[in-house]
Amino acid sequence: MLAQRPQRMHGFEFGGPSPPADLDDQSTQLLPSIEVQEWLDADDSIPIVSPLYDDDVNEFAQDAEEFARGLDSLSIVRRSPAERRAEIFKLVDSYYQYAANKVHALRKSQGQLSRNLRRSYDTSSQDSMDLDDADNSPGLPGSAEILKKWELEAQTWDLLRRLLPLRYPNKTSLKPIRHDVTRFQSCSELWEEFLQTDPTAQERKAVLECLQTSADESRVDIDELVRDYQQRAERGDIIAYGWLHTRSAIKLQKNLNGWSGALDPNASDVVQKLRNGSNPLVTQLDPDVATRQNRKLQPQDEYFERAIWLGCYELLRRGRSIAEIRDWCVERTEVWRAVSMSAMPLSKDESEGRFSCDPLSMLLWRRTCFALARQGGTDDFERAVYGVLSGDIPSVEKICEDWDDFVFAHYNALLRTQFDAYLMKRSPQDSTATITQSFPAFNAVQFHGDAASVGERLVKSLETNAKTSAEAKTPMKTLQAAILSNSLDQYTYELGLALGNLANKDNVSALIPRFGSPDQDIDDTKFVQPTDHSGLRVLVHVYLILSNLEELQGGMQKELPERLKVQENVVSAYVTTLRLTGLTDIMPLYCRQMQGDRAFFTLSRNVISVTDQQEREILLRLMEKLDMDIAEFVRYQPRSLLEQHPLQDDQQPAFGRFTVVSNEPPTLKYGRPLKPDFLGEPPENLSDVDEHLIQSLEWFLLVDGLWHELFHYGTAIYKRFLKQFNLHAARALSERIRCAEIFKRKAGIIYDDDEDASWFDEVRASAAAGSLEDNGIGPEEVAAAQNFFEMECLIRTLDSMETVASSELLAQDPTEQVGRDFWSNVGREVKRIKSFMQPILNNWLMESIEEDEDFAYLRDAYLPETIIGYVSVLHFAGTTLTRDNLLECMELASVIAKKDADVAAVIMKAGRMKELVEGFANCSKALAISSNDKKGPGGINSKRMMREHGWTRELWSVKK
């Protein structure tokens, strides 16, 4: 579990308190979009600080932090499988509750208790237009879209929280015992037994309850919904007492014609006089009279009738209890309608009393409702009501408006058909045969065919249905379709393919690679786009929850098949989103969920933009709390970068690639001049690869140990830069990661002046004597650092040489006024050069732990030019600072001329010995005629040192 900490990295505190459940005051402003191309450049370095962040906490940041906080609870590994399973289900519940609270807060902020989405089936009336105007009243920009988004998310989590416990049950759960049929078993008891013994029925019931709950919470109030028809019925505020206008018409004709008693619909005078225009009116007022007599009601009463049946359908569609249905009908003096629905309304309220009729009555009731759905009724809503009750599909589909309605119609039919079959199995065969032979019923199971693929075929059919095609292809409905069809594994696989195709559309992405052929048949529009941050948040948590459950069930493959790598594109895309939105401290939690090296690869590429040391330390602590191997993470960064970006094999000849001195003829005063700015124009920024390589070494300084690994990769990176003659990158490395700083941070060995290269020889001597054992430093550790130190000395030498070259140019410019400070700076640079040249003149890169041919190439490329340049520096310093520099140049000649000197052979191999000798000759001439001794900082003022070297200035003085 992650540690609590007071500081925040762009908004997230692990282990901190959750936000209150009441989210009324939260911002509902849409998250500003990140451009697609910005997201596609996932491998590029993008600053952490995003323009998305201002004084107000960003909505996406709040959501991402809350979901991460919940996911963090699963990182506790010391739990039994049953406890982990329960924790996962609890997490899904918390995600649902969070989304539901968001929906509630948004509705409240918009001044509505339930979503005022107009869903009238006839929008031609003025009242309907008024309602539409009310719905479109001014509000927050995009508020309707935000509300719709959160409603879909809440519904998605609701589906998962209901279905996952059924699909991933505890294996130790006891199976219910089926009882023998007795005449005392009611349908309610059989229903409970049916659900307990049939997993498919449990899932379908759960889906129905989810759809009912969603409809009940998101649709317009039923009274508001039927108000349109109610007003067309021209009865004011009267919602009861049946067909008022038809009753009045019948009573009027009876009074006018002196009729009494029940009227004969076939009587000629009744046929002629009891009419509404060309339509004959019913002669009685019982509920099925219109069907029985094939006559019409008054138009106003037809609207009233439609309002009643619309209300009844909505009550069933929303899963209202039979008590609520009864109250609604009683209020309208239509209680018989509640009675007709009471046998099996399939309410979402599990606490209500179950139906108590006997099985045979239930079988007969269902078939009677089916007959009414197909052959009775005067209105589509009436037939749809009986279609819902009987488990019919065609009669219900006629009034379905959206994806949810169609799914409800099919799942309702399937569940009722299943229960019907169960009742027949549990009832006496002779009794059921009489009913089934006399009264048909719609068999939804047979209609759909293979039970194993019902869900998949259903959601596929909705993609081609004219009413639902567009909605079915939206990302969130595509996800819900995968949940229903239990094909989330295939869904996340195709989503990973789609993300890979998009990320690699223009450039190759290492973070989100493409798998398979580019022309594979994947409809990218059906999936969440990478710029939809909220959609990615939902998807990644769905995927991780399913992965954890599969792991508990033993379904995870351990060999990292390509399928799993494709699915992990979802996680990688979300981690990239976190980086782009500044939520870097959440990234380790999600990278931890990935398998193998990809976890470190994804994290290492996304933390590249984290340059603050404190933020890096926080990330490492978070990783440690998550049981991630931080040492391996640090090692992985340079290793993977070097493997991902290898050097080209077309290596150029070493000699002549790098030059320090110019081709101008030498002068007596300054010798052979150095090239100004010979390192080249410094770039504004290093290349991404170079910058990432240097940053990868900086992480080593934050982790204990890894001494040998740090110098191994540091040496490899230095060698890479030098082989490429990428001296600006090498200089950046020497400035940001000094060898002396490594000894200080990792071994506690402190030297005040790292510009004196002799500190390394002192460490070497102390390690050989064993006096640094308490610091963990022995001869092997010093040997591991030697090549790194030697290449650092070369770069620092060249850097100071370039400064001296610029100073030499200024000194020769008559328009420039140079004073004491100028020459003091020159003296300091010369002193640095002398110090850093000592390791270069003494077996530079000739001693290493592992034999490396590249070192010979580097010696050939750099040693001749650097030594010749050193001679020019000493000549310039000798004639401008102090003659002692000329004496040192003469000493350099003797050092190179020694038999065991290693540099002479390299200079001879390069064919540069003549230039070197000429340089020494020029120095000797300058020394012979020079009498000026400024004794600047770059000279040797110690008489003791001169005696040790056997030097004397008088030897070179020319006396007249």
Mean pLDDT comparison of 126-135, 356-365, 437-446, 472-481, highest-scoring range = 472-481
Q: Which residue has the tokens 């328009």?
A: 815
* Residues linked to residue 671 through DSSP beta bridges, in sequence order: 667
Give the residue-averaged pLDDT of 49-76: 72
Enclosing H/E stretch for 210: helix 199-218
Give phi and psi for 173, each to the nearest 5.
-65, 140
Q: Are residues 346 and 319 in contact, defined by beta-carbon separation less than 8 angstroms?
A: yes
What pLDDT shows up at residue 787? 96
* Residues linked to residue 132 through DSSP beta bridges, in sequence order: none
Q: Are residues 533 and 35 in contact, defined by beta-carbon separation less than 8 angstroms?
A: no
pLDDT digits (tens, 9 = 90+) for 624-681: 999 999 999 999 999 999 999 998 876 778 888 889 998 888 888 888 899 988 888 8
Q: What is the mean pLDDT of the chain?
A: 83
* The model's pTM: 0.83
CA angle, corner 316, sides to 313 and 319, nearest 5? 150
What pLDDT shows up at residue 30? 33
On the CB side of 87, CA atoms within 13 Å amount to: 17
What pLDDT shows up at residue 32? 37
pLDDT for residue 10 is more than 90: no
* Residues linked to residue 280 through DSSP beta bridges, in sequence order: 275
Q: Which own/partner contact pairs does 347-353 have at CB distance under 8 Å and 24+ positions apart?
A: 347/212, 347/319, 347/320, 347/321, 347/322, 348/208, 348/209, 348/212, 348/213, 348/216, 348/318, 348/319, 349/319, 349/320, 349/321, 352/321, 352/322, 352/323, 353/188
- CB atoms inside a 10 Å sphere around CB 375: 10
More confident residue, 135 or 68: 68
Give the residue-averaged pLDDT of 369-382: 90
DSSP structure class, residue 234 = T
Output the six-digit token pair for 232.
């067309």
CA dist., res. 82 & res. 99, Å (int): 26
**pLDDT grade for 366, boundaries at 50, 70 and 90:** very high
Output the six-digit token pair for 849.
């732990």
Tell me the torsion sign for CA atoms 592, 596, 600, 601: negative
pLDDT for residue 463 is more than 90: yes
What pLDDT shows up at residue 694? 96
pLDDT for residue 701 is more than 60: yes
575-to-325, 581, 601 alpha-carbon distances in Å: 49, 10, 12
858-to-397, 651, 734, 892 alpha-carbon distances in Å: 79, 12, 17, 21
What pLDDT shows up at residue 935? 44
What pLDDT shows up at residue 472? 95
Give the residue-averaged pLDDT of 883-900: 89
Q: Are residues 52 and 58 in contact, defined by beta-carbon separation less than 8 angstroms?
A: yes
Q: Are residues 289 and 295 in contact, defined by beta-carbon separation less than 8 angstroms?
A: yes
More confident residue, 351 or 117: 351
Q: Are residues 275 and 246 in contact, defined by beta-carbon separation less than 8 angstroms?
A: no
- CB atoms inside a 10 Å sphere around CB 895: 12
pLDDT digits (tens, 9 = 90+) for 146-162: 999 999 999 999 999 99
Enclosing H/E stretch for 279: strand 279-280
- CB atoms inside a 10 Å sphere around CB 174: 6
Residues 6+ apart with CB under 8 A from 243: 285, 297, 298, 301, 304, 305
What pLDDT shows up at residue 179? 55
Give the residue-averaged pLDDT of 64-78: 85
Using DSSP, state whether 611 is helix, strand or coil: coil
pLDDT for residue 712 is more than 90: yes
Q: Are residues 147 and 108 in contact, defined by beta-carbon separation less than 8 angstroms?
A: no
pLDDT for residue 142 is more than 80: no
> Which phi-psi region, left, alpha or beta, contains residue 662 (left: φ > 0; alpha: ψ -120 to 50)?
beta
Q: Are residues 766 and 702 in contact, defined by beta-carbon separation less than 8 angstroms?
A: no
CA dist., res. 923 & res. 664, Å (int): 16
**pLDDT grade for 6, boundaries at 50, 70 and 90:** very low
CA dist., res. 721 & res. 686, Å (int): 12
What pLDDT shows up at residue 129? 38
pLDDT digits (tens, 9 = 90+) for 12-40: 344 333 333 343 333 333 333 344 444 44
CA dist., res. 39 & res. 580, Å (int): 8
pLDDT for residue 591 is more than 60: yes
pLDDT digits (tens, 9 = 90+) for 249-260: 888 888 888 788
CA dist., res. 26 & res. 11, Å (int): 15
pLDDT for residue 182 is more than 70: no
Q: Are residues 208 and 411 in contact, defined by beta-carbon separation less than 8 angstroms?
A: yes
pLDDT digits (tens, 9 = 90+) for 751-787: 878 889 999 999 999 999 999 999 999 999 999 999 9
Give the residue-averaged pLDDT of 237-261: 79
Q: Which residues of 443-513 form beta strands (DSSP E)?
A: none
CA dist., res. 610 & res. 63, Å (int): 22
DSSP structure class, residue 248 = H
What pLDDT shows up at residue 41? 47
pLDDT for residue 947 is more than 60: no
More confident residue, 167 or 139: 167
CA dist., res. 768 & res. 151, Å (int): 71
pLDDT digits (tens, 9 = 90+) for 553-577: 875 555 558 889 999 999 999 999 9
* % the chain with pLDDT above 70: 84
CA dist., res. 889 & res. 82, Å (int): 80
Q: Are residues 31 and 568 in contact, defined by beta-carbon separation less than 8 angstroms?
A: no
- CB atoms inside a 10 Å sphere around CB 741: 13
Using DSSP, state whether 275 is helix, strand or coil: strand
Residues 6+ apart with CB under 8 A from 229: 122, 303, 304, 306, 307, 310
> Which phi-psi region, left, alpha or beta, contains residue 152 (left: φ > 0; alpha: ψ -120 to 50)?
alpha
pLDDT digits (tens, 9 = 90+) for 264-315: 788 877 777 888 777 888 888 878 878 888 888 888 888 888 888 999 999 9
What pLDDT shows up at residue 175? 57
Q: How far is CA 817 from the centre of its chain?
A: 60
Nearest to 187 by CA among 340, 373, 365, 33: 365
pLDDT for residue 127 is more than 60: no
pLDDT digits (tens, 9 = 90+) for 76-86: 766 788 889 99
What pLDDT shows up at residue 556? 56
